DNA sequence: ATACTAATTCGATAATTTTCTAATCATTCA
DNA sequence: TGAATGATTAGAAAATTATCGAATTAGTAT
């Protein structure tokens, strides 16, 4: 999952917000937090581990206890910084989206691209309708492709040529 | 649910983030968004309605379409503003928490408060360990109270006196 | 070493949330 | 008014997530 979404998901939980508010005031440890919030240590541990993995909190042993503390830097970001997708981040991905939105209208493929690179992007998009690991008969393959475009024969053939699908006799599957 | 938590929960969803990113660029409507994101109109509608209820987006009809747009003000808050609980918000609640954390250490009642108001807060805290509607025998009551403090007799008597519990013969229950 | 204590993991369950289909509603335009 | 279209709602299925009890691990102190 994407980094920023993960951060938001972690913050969107009542228990974790309680924990963070306590840690804003002072560092603490599993049993104490469990006691403060009337939850079991297992539950607190579950939340702290999740937040630690995301860099929201840190831990350090001190004698008997493992003391958890806040990583304060995280909290200065604004919501729009977190929500907004950085367009420059993944140029390749952006290009794919452009191609897809150009060739698909309302879920239908308007035209089979002639440029190899674009054609491949479109074929991969169609391939999403097949399940990995499952075997399909030719009739099923045609039917699924047909939802996108009339000429299922060409597209089926191209998917084999691009190495997206494999075939043995009458059976097809995703590679 | 609390306002801020609701906001975070709404933002912590991939589909809604996609929608918001599109709306950052230009206003849109249900069917268009559904097409852009390859989801059904029903799903888009579900998300938009939720966000509208929380004031994240607005809607206005324009001929055939209901145009959704962003409420941009929301996005300038920082995470710590959202996470941090406003201490001044509920003074009464805060006082209770102070009393409770003063008299309970590691889940045990260290001392029975002499001040009536504080004592009552402590008794209500103990009362949380009893189920509403269930009947308890005196032995059970003692046992539960004993987890908090040795002198279960005094506490049991006080709970009756404060009107937290009621009793008939050997049977006790929460009021 | 051994007994103790706090932290963690595992497996199961309960609760919440997203998504879809199908049906209904509301508005526009002929 | 009625046909068409977009939006919404209801109900069900699927996916995700929080919580707990029990078992295990890791570190401390005697």
Would you list the domain boundaries of chain A?
Answer: 3-76, 97-174
Show the DSSP H helices in B12-130 as ranges.
14-25, 30-37, 41-53, 79-83, 91-103, 116-127
Class of domain A3-76: mainly alpha
Burial class (CB in 10 A: 0-12, 13-18, 19+), A57: buried
Decide: CB of A39 under 7 A of nucleic strand D.
yes
Buried (b) or exposed (e) across A89-125, using 16+ Cβ within 10 A? eeeeeeebeebbeebbeeeebeebbeeeebbbbbbeb
CA-nearest residue to A5 within chain B is B12
pLDDT of chain B along its 175 residues, tens only?
Answer: 578 889 999 999 999 999 999 999 889 999 899 888 888 899 999 999 999 988 899 988 888 888 999 988 888 888 888 888 765 445 566 667 778 888 887 677 888 888 777 888 898 888 887 876 667 888 888 888 887 888 888 889 888 888 888 888 788 888 7
Q: Which residue has the tokens 């006082």?
A: B95
Q: What local confidence, expressed as pLDDT, does residue B132 receive?
A: 65
User: Residue A115 pLDDT > 70, yes or no?
Assistant: yes
In a 3-state reduction of DSSP, which class is residue B57? strand
Strands (E), A16-78: 57-62, 65-70
How far A171 CA sits from the closest chain B CA (Å)?
28
**Which of B4, B77, B87, B83 is closest to A51 using CA atoms?**
B83
DSSP state of A70: E
Positions of chain C reached by protein Cβ under 7 A: 5-10, 17-23, 27-29
Which pTM does this prediction carry? Answer: 0.58
Q: What local confidence, expressed as pLDDT, does residue B106 receive?
A: 66
Q: What local confidence, expressed as pLDDT, does residue B65 receive?
A: 87
């Amino acid at each position: 999952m994407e980094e920023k979404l993960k951060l938001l998901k972690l913050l969107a939980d009542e228990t974790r917000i309680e924990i963070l508010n306590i840690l804003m005031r002072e560092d603490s440890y599993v049993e104490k937090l469990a006691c403060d919030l009337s939850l079991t240590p297992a539950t607190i541990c579950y939340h702290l581990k999740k937040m630690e993995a995301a860099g929201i909190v840190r831990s350090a042993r001190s004698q008997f206890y493992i003391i958890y503390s806040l990583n304060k830097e995280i909290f200065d970001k604004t919501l729009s910084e977190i929500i907004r997708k950085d367009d420059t981040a993944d140029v390749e991905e952006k290009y794919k989206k452009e191609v897809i939105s150009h060739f698909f209208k309302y879920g239908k493929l308007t035209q089979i691209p002639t440029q190899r690179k674009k054609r491949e992007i479109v074929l991969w998009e169609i391939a999403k309708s097949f399940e990995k690991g499952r075997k399909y008969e030719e009739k099923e393959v045609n039917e699924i492709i047909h939802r996108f475009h009339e000429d299922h024969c060409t597209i089926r053939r191209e998917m084999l040529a691009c190495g997206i699908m494999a075939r043995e006799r009458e059976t097809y599957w995703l590679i």
